[in-house]
Structures are given as C-alpha cells and as structure tokens.
C-alpha cells in the first residue's frame, strides 16, 4: 500500500477502531486514579497530545505525556499509565513503562505486537490490541481511538466521544473530495517552501501531527507554534531569514475570540514578509470533530507534497539507521 491508500481509508480505520474499543474489556483499577501519564513517541504518541487537548475542558484530573525514556516523579499507585507503541518495541516507551511498573502505577497498553504485547499478556495487564504490520503514523486512527475507550473503561469520561466519532466519520466521508482538492492546492503552494504552522491554544496536538506528517511523508523541514504564546516571542522573529516561508493558520470557529483576533493581526504583520499565508478552517461541532477534520486534511497535504517532492512517503531509512546504531549500544 502507498501512503495515500492509508489516508483514503482513514474513516474505515475509525470504524474498525470503534468496533475494537467496543469489544474490549478491562478489570477495574485497584486504586483511585488521580492523574494520567501517556507514554509514546511519534505516530504512537501523538494521540496522547491530541487527546489531552480534546478532553481539557471535560476531564477533572491532569493528563501528562512522556515522549522520553524517563517519567515524572509524581507517578505512583494513583497514576493511570497508558503505554502506546504500535510496534510494541519502542525502546523509550519500554523504558518508561518499566519505571512506571516499579512505581506501582495502574497500567494499560495499546499495541499491535512486540514486547509490549508480551508484557501485557504475561502480566495480565489491561490492554487493547490493534491491527499490526503497517507504518505507525498511518494507523493513528486505531491508537488514538483506543485512548478514549481506555478512559471510559476507567470511568474517567462519559460516552459522548462516541457520537463525536460517529459524526466525524460522516463528516469526513461527505467532505472527502473537497478535502483532497483543497489539500492538493495547498501542497502546490507549499512546494519548495518551508511551512510554518500556527494554531490556537487547545489544538497544538493537531499542529504537531501536521508537522510530523510533513517531516515523515513529505521529507521536509517545518515548524509550528501556538497562539497566543507565539505573540510573546516568535512574532518578533519575522524580521530576518524569512525567504521561502509559507504560513498555515489551522483555525476553528470555536477558537477563543481573542485568539481569532490575534491570528488576524498576526497575518497583517507576517504579510510584510511573505504573500504565502493560508487559513485552513476545520469543520464539525466538537473539538474532536474539528481535530479529526484538520488531521485528515493535513495528512492529505503531506501526501500531495510528497509527490511534488518526488519522495517515497513511507520510506524511513534514516530513522532505521538511527535505530540500528542504537541497537549496537549496550
């Protein structure tokens, strides 16, 4: 399969992910859950970042994400730790999980195979197994969706997310051709330029996903920042080294009013240095729907830009080179 085949099947993946989540069962936690840590990197870890944004106004306990070998010192028996590694062999996640187990944390695992699957099965740890053998970033729908079901299994959220998922699937199916057309047009505008992605607070995970997809699929450098924080620093950087930059504002009608005004003012400032400024508005009636819309849109942009760059969107040779070198270090 090519990367565009995976992107085309995004809503089918969501449907199957829902089925997997609905048929999963968990034993109850032994202790009261007072905080949450989601461990994962890359395509396996970005779901935690997006989830924490989506649930920020709903959940009553803090969510943190670890994208490292280490874990925060607060982890204890009252911490729910979700280890997410598509391959099941991500060394940073395995290291973090070992530390969390030693702290007596409540553990749940999302994986398709590998050491994580073995750890879950051998130690009777709550887990959800998703389809394997594919590029982790292309299976985002599976790992992301299971996080919601894990939260529900632990009675941390209600079932409202199910309607949002259902609505997202319908929306993306109905807008599929429109999304592809607009994404292709944006990719043409980004060709031979360095993309700069801006987003309002509350949607940073979506911007990170877009950046990562441009890195991995399109094989290009880019960066992102968040409004209003970027107004206190990066906005001043729009003075020098501004050649060949193209700016994308990922926007939602639900963004805080003052942040929407800030974005419009930012565009005025930035327009002195580049004419390539694009507003991409989400669709949907919830944070989850808005997020999934922008994620699917960004995935398509990364695919079309990979074609323009004449690169293989799936190839990750340099990452494999890094992993091989690390494997030789004891």
Q: Which two tokens stand for residue 140?
A: 């985002």
The phi and psi torsions of 79 (rounded to 5 degrees) equal -100, 130
Contact 250, 280 (CB under 8 A): yes
Contact between residue 274 and residue 242 where contact means Cβ atoms under 8 Å apart? yes
| Active-site residue (options: 27, 32, 192, 232) | 232
Q: Measured in Å, how far apart are the chain's first and last C-alpha atoms? A: 35
Q: What angle is formed at CA 240 by the lines to CA 236 and CA 242, rounded to 5 degrees?
A: 100
Q: At what angle do helices 287-308 and 42-54 cross, to 10 degrees?
A: 150
Told to judge if 323 belongs to the known catalytic residues of this protein, a careful annotator would answer: yes
CA atoms 83, 88, 93, 95: torsion sign: positive
Active site residue 184: no
Backbone angles phi, psi at 279, to 5 degrees: -100, 125
Q: What is the rounded distance in angstroms from the CA atom of residue 141 to the CA atom of residue 152?
A: 17
Structure tokens at 11: 């809503």
Instruction: Identify whether 216 is a catalytic site residue.
Output: yes
Question: Measuring CA to CA, how many Å separate 257 from each of 230, 251, 270, 279?
Answer: 17, 11, 20, 16
The token duo for 99 is 């530390």
Cα-based distances in Å from 243 to 35, 190, 273:
44, 13, 8
Q: Say which of 216, 219, 224, 289 is annotated catalytic.
A: 216
Catalytically annotated residues = 216, 232, 323
């Amino acid at each position: 399969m090519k990367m565009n085949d995976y992107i085309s099947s995004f809503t089918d993946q969501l449907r199957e992910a829902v089925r997997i989540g609905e048929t999963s069962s968990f034993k109850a936690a032994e202790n009261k859950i007072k905080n949450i840590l989601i461990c994962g990197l890359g395509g396996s870890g970005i779901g935690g970042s997006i989830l924490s944004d989506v649930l920020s106004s709903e959940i009553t306990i803090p969510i943190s994400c670890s994208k490292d070998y280490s874990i925060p010192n607060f982890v204890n028996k009252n911490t729910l730790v979700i280890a997410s590694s598509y391959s099941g062999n991500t060394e940073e996640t395995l290291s973090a999980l070992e530390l969390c187990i030693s702290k007596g944390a409540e553990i749940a695992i999302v994986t398709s195979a590998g050491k994580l699957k073995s750890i879950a099965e051998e130690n009777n740890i709550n887990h959800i197994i998703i389809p394997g053998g594919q590029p982790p970033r292309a299976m985002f729908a599976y790992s992301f969706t299971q996080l919601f079901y894990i939260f529900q299994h632990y009675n941390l959220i209600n079932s409202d997310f199910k309607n949002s998922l259902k609505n997202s699937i319908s929306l993306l199916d109905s807008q599929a051709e429109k999304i592809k057309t607009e994404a292709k047009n944006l990719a043409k505008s980004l060709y031979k330029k360095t993309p700069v992605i801006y987003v309002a607070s509350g949607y940073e995970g979506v911007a990170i996903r877009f950046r990562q997809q441009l890195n991995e699929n399109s094989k290009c450098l880019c960066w992102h920042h968040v409004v209003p924080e970027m107004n206190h620093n990066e906005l001043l950087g729009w003075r020098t080294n501004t050649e060949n930059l193209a700016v994308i504002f990922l926007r939602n009608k639900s963004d805080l009013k003052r942040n929407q005004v800030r974005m419009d003012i930012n565009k005025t400032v930035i327009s002195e240095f580049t004419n390539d400024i694009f507003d991409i508005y989400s669709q949907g009636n919830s944070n989850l729907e808005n997020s999934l819309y922008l994620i699917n849109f960004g995935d398509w942009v990364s695919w079309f830009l990979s074609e323009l760059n004449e690169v293989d969107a799936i190839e990750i040779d340099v990452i494999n080179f890094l992993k091989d070198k690390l494997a030789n270090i004891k």
